[in-house]
Structure 1
Amino acid sequence: MKKKVVVIMGGISSEREVSLNSGKAALEAIDRDKYDVYELIINDPMDVVNKMPCDVDFALIVLHGKYGEDGTIQAMLESMNIPYSGCDPLTSGICMNKNMTKKVLKSSNIPTAPWVIAKSVDSIDYDAIEKIGYPVFIKPNSGGSSVATFKVDKKEDVYEAVKKGLEVDDIVIIESFLPGDEYTSFILNGEVYPTIKITSPNEFFDYESKYATGVKGATEEVVYLEESLQNQVNTISENCWDAFNCKAFVRVDLILSDGIFYVLELNTLPGMTKTSLIPKSANARGLSYSDLLDKIIEYSL
């Protein structure tokens, strides 16, 4: 008998369109010989309760940002006794919160850039920022897709960047700018998959680089690093998996600066279109997009 799977997409965050694209791709690719598939587009948080099909065996969550990656919908699904894809509510909530993520990384001796936070423009600690040293990145603490993210080179520009960040979140994180190349590491059921290097035409992997088409977009390619660097990526990835008690799958974003990999963040529900980073990594290991979805469902259960 086929399992009844609902693909949950849309949502109420600024990343709604990204989620809808991921959801449509997943709907097309899920193996219909194994699963009866339904879609659930979230326009309101209570839609997960009010619009959920009956007798669902599994929920494939392809939401991003608030109400998707923050553990909220995971907790609701648990209260409804519906198994779902990915990490549990606690891990999801911590990884959505960059400040909490960095605290766990630091306490686990996993390299991450120095940082401070601001909860209001009046609470900006300019002395602490000075100690970190300019330039700095200023971004919403719980945002995604590099929305309202700014590279700030001097003290005079901090106030405005923090102000804009606070328009989309109640905490802003201010962290050291580490020059270097960006990479991402996909982990499926505790196994580290091929590393992807991200090259952006812009100064960093911002919203435009992630989602623009044509010449403006970033390039993302599977790379096979020299042994010492690859071992560093693999060890950091495994340590993140353990430290955050991840489940099924996660993506760890890194930057290589002066020979050291630093963790930027963990994505518990990363983009899942056919050309997204995770499917590219899986494909390099011989796993098709459809097979990847199958594995995510299998390991989540």
Structure 2
Amino acid sequence: MAGTRAPIRLALLFGGRSTEHAISCVSAGGVLRALDRDVYDVLPVGIDLAGRWIVLPDDADALAAAAEQLPEVTAAAGRQVLISADPTASRLAPRDQTAVVRDTFGDIDVVFPLLHGPFGEDGTVQGLLEMAGLPYVGSGVFASAAAMDKQHMKALLRAAGLPVGPYAVLRPGQSLSEAERERLGLPVFVKPARGGSSIGISRVEAWDDLDTAIKTARANDPKVVIEAAIVGREIECGVLGRLDGPGPEASLPAEITVDSPSGFYDFEAKYTSGQTRFDIPARLSPAVRQRIQDVAVAAFESLDCAGLARVDVFLGPDDQIVVNEVNTMPGFTPTSMFPRMWEASGVSYPALLDRLVRLALRDGAGLR
């Protein structure tokens, strides 16, 4: 038909080499189910735990979480491909050079790197896509790397005048000094410096348990962050770029209330039903809600984020706000916090995905 616009060819990247592989797959299933196929020609590209890139069937159900098993990308499920860092070359090529490739296989308009954790959310894939000259959803190399590393994230937030809680950083071979123990107090949270989904995190209520918690964190990352516990309500707020104006905007905040044996919002509480209550939107006065939204936008801008982020804060008994984390690629199933906060703010899940892709196409690759 004359005047019909060709679909946007979108490569959806998911899986990856990090411990958050399965969560990325579940997020990808939600996105695949919601993308409008009249608008998008979707190429699902899974990355297996060994780092192989595999073109998979466009099947959202295959990425759903089963009762006893989370989804995983496997090399046997599709065709292995390579991505070229040469912006003048075909974007994707078959790993088996004898394979027959359809003409449009390498023609990609935009990439949605729905990867969580290291080797995906930390600037590594973003750098590869920049080299390839491919527009992509989300933050660039620097913001992705800075937000993933809790040490540098906190330093940048503090430099911007935003409140962060007391913390200490342990590099390989280091231990927490007596002076640091006294400064932080108990309890503390021991975390991999560059991890997510609460994997490898421990709550420590006695110093005798600290070494075990550090060992657990270092199984995921040789650099460890130890944070003083913050008393307060756990509030999250989504931040989203605008298509029609300068600066990002914030969603209605949400509150998380945890009833977990661990005493905090750990992996089981996040992904096991019945352990967590979500209030969306959070029960906040208009003034406090606006302050949280302002802090979320300021945190987004202080790290030079783009596209989207979820900003997690603590709200103290005296309404003091402490920034805990900035997540540049939050979970993206329809029931994840980021889409649900925007749904409550008037942006549907399909509209949210479309806006993110349009932002990526508008901004393109390279310096922004």
Scaled by the length of structure 1, the TM-score of the pair is 0.95
- Report what 1:183 is aligned to: 235
2:297 aligns with one of 221, 238, 263: 238
What CA distance in whole angstroms lies between the structure 1 residues aligned with 2:253 and 2:283?
A: 7
Counterpart of 1:103, as a letter, is: A
Letter of the structure 2 residue corresponding to residue 291 of structure 1: A
- Give the equivalent residue in structure 1 for 2:43: 38
> What does 1:193-208 align with in structure 2 at a 5 Å threshold?
193-202=251-260, 203-208=263-268
* SS of structure 2 residue aligned to 1:265: strand
What corresponds to 1:192 in structure 2? 250
Amino acid corresponding to residue 321 of structure 2 in structure 1: F
Question: How many residues in Structure 1 have an aligned counterpart in Structure 2?
Answer: 300
1:162 matched to 2:221: no
1:217-296 → structure 2 map (5 Å cutoff):
217-258=276-317, 259-296=319-356
Of the three residues 11, 16, 22, the one matched with 2:21 is 16
Distance 2:120 2:172 in 1: 25
User: 2:279 and 2:265 mapped to 1: Cα distance?
Assistant: 11
Q: Which structure carries more relative contact order (alpha carbon 8 Å, separation 6+)?
A: 1
Counterpart pick for 2:10 among 2, 5, 8: 5
Structure 2, unpaired ranges of 5+: 1-5, 55-80, 84-91, 93-104, 242-247, 362-368
Instruction: Report the equivalent of 1:50.
Output: 82
TM-score normalised per structure 2: 0.78
Amino acid at match of 2:53: D
Task: Decide whether the 8 Å contact of 1:121 with 1:163 is kept in 2.
Answer: no
**Matched residues in 2 for 1:168 and 1:241: separation?**
26
Summarize the alignment of residues 56-135 of structure 1 with structure 2, pairs less than 5 Å apart.
Answer: 56-120=108-172, 122-135=174-187
Q: Tell me if the contact between 1:208 and 1:217 (Cα under 8 Å) persists in the aligned partners.
A: no
Question: Structure 1: 5+ residue runs without aligned partners?
Answer: none
Deviation, 1:245, is 1.1
Alignment partners' CA distance in 2, 1:86 and 1:285 = 20
Amino acid at match of 1:196: A
Match of 2:200 in 1: 148
Superimposed CA distance per residue, residues 45-90 of structure 1 (whole angstroms, 9 cap, x where no aligned partner): 4628616340100011111111121000010011111111000011
CA distance in 1: counterparts of 2:336 and 2:343, whole angstroms: 11
Per the alignment, in what secondary structure is the counterpart of residue 231 of structure 2? coil
Larger Rg: 2
Residue 132 of structure 1 and its aligned partner are, at CA, apart by: 1.8
The CA deviation string for residues 148-170 of structure 1, in whole angstroms up to 9 with x for no partner, is 11111222221111121111101
Superposition deviation, residue 139 in structure 1: 0.7
Partner of 2:190: 138
CA distance in 1, matches of 2:26, 2:279: 18
CA contact 1:85–1:248 (8 Å) conserved in 2: yes
**Higher mean Cα deviation, 119-128 or 192-201?**
119-128
Residue 220 of structure 1: how far off its partner (Å):
4.6
The answer to whether the 8 Å contact 1:7/1:59 transfers is: yes
Percent identity over the alignment?
31
Call closer, same or farther: CA 1:60–1:227 in 2, change over 3 Å.
same
Structure 1 CA distance, aligned partners of 2:279 and 2:13?
Answer: 26
| Separation in structure 2 between the aligned mates of residue 194 and residue 219 of structure 1, nearest angstrom | 13
The AA in structure 2 aligned to 1:260 is: Q
CA distance in 1, matches of 2:44, 2:276: 29
Alignment check: 8 A CA contact 1:247 1:300 kept: no
Flag the structure with higher helix content. 1
State the distance in 2 between where 1:225 and 1:299 align. 30
Indicate conservation of the 8 Å contact 1:95/1:268, yes or no.
Answer: yes
Q: State whether residues 237 and 251 of structure 2, in contact with CA within 8 Å, keep that contact through their aligned partners in structure 1.
A: yes
Q: Cα RMSD between the aligned structures?
A: 1.5
Q: Aligned partner of 2:257: which letter?
A: T
How much does 1:275 deviate?
A: 0.3
State the secondary structure of the residue aligned to 2:284.
coil
Measure how far apart 1:218 and its partner are.
Answer: 4.2
What does residue 27 of structure 1 align with?
Answer: 32
Contact 1:126 1:155 in 2 (8 A): no
| Cα distance in 1 for residues equivalent to 2:52 and 2:141 | 17
Is the 1:121–1:159 contact (alpha carbons within 8 Å) kept by the matching residues of 2? no
